[in-house]
Structure 1
């Protein structure tokens, strides 16, 4: 089963809980923190170790969250209990590898709720502040909403940008243009 399909019900349930409890930002911080932790090679090694049982893994993850995420802000006992339940559910259902996708889908739902568009931009080079401001201005005009831009670097693009938003891909890369030109010349 595809990771996005596995992650969707978790993201939707988490989002519904966040809306009900008016904790969108706190849940966003927690799931993003979990995403970083569960994406690490060290944790992947721990999860694959047959000597580490689920109870130990749950305790380890919860302690990490308490130290790394939950200490930063004053959280209610109810939120902490719900957060621990989320981690327990993810561990028991072997969904730790889906946490990054859950976080991504949660952020999309949150963006829709807060009326902004989450945009992933891949660039061949680091984007300076004036370029980023111009890009944000262009994207806000295109989508008619505020945008939240996340920029990653990929030198293989050979120049230009790949822009992903709302299940759309805008390929403004040199590599993409060359591939399109090659297809046209062959056709």
Structure 2
């Protein structure tokens, strides 16, 4: 994605996040359903990505199209998406796909925390391994003329113990690969699941080895701050000047002396 579209995707993900705490699997299903409509309608994509068209006009267009057919949350997410700027028609569709996959991972996370995400990732990896090792399966799932329902049925037989959220992503990949091979799309989904899992890992960099007591206090403090039980990944960096640097997901908490000195230098130079 170009920078303009990347910025819009970031804003859309931020808009989606508060809706994920109570979301059910129906939200990503609705988003995938809208994605199918977008992919099938070039005129609609042009209308939603037209920089000369007012955001209110785009929202009104979507309201007429979607009202009563998807949930209010799904309608709001898509309307928000359409209000942003996009470098290409494909970008808005790709962004909606990312939002839908993010919603699926959030539902898995909501149901069983880090282990729910691990199960989702494991199911997707299992599907990838089975399909990658069998050329006949690859041809069957890649066959553009084969009915989507038949491919979905075949795909789910390959991972009989898959969770409900895993099934949503696998079925989406084989039924609507969007110009890609289903295997490639599932691999992309795995990357998004892995990114979500980073929210449960705290990477801690320290200049010296921390004692067990210090580690326990740090873990308790981080768990309380983030509201979930994090897995600590500890590394030592002798070049770090005092203090700690903690990274959880996309957030970085820099409590090192080096950081404070740099802040002071910037203040003095301004």
TM-score, normalised to structure 1, is 0.50
More strand by share: 1
Q: Which has the bigger relative contact order, CA under 8 A and spacing at least 6?
A: 1
The higher radius of gyration belongs to: 2
TM-score, normalised to structure 2, is 0.38
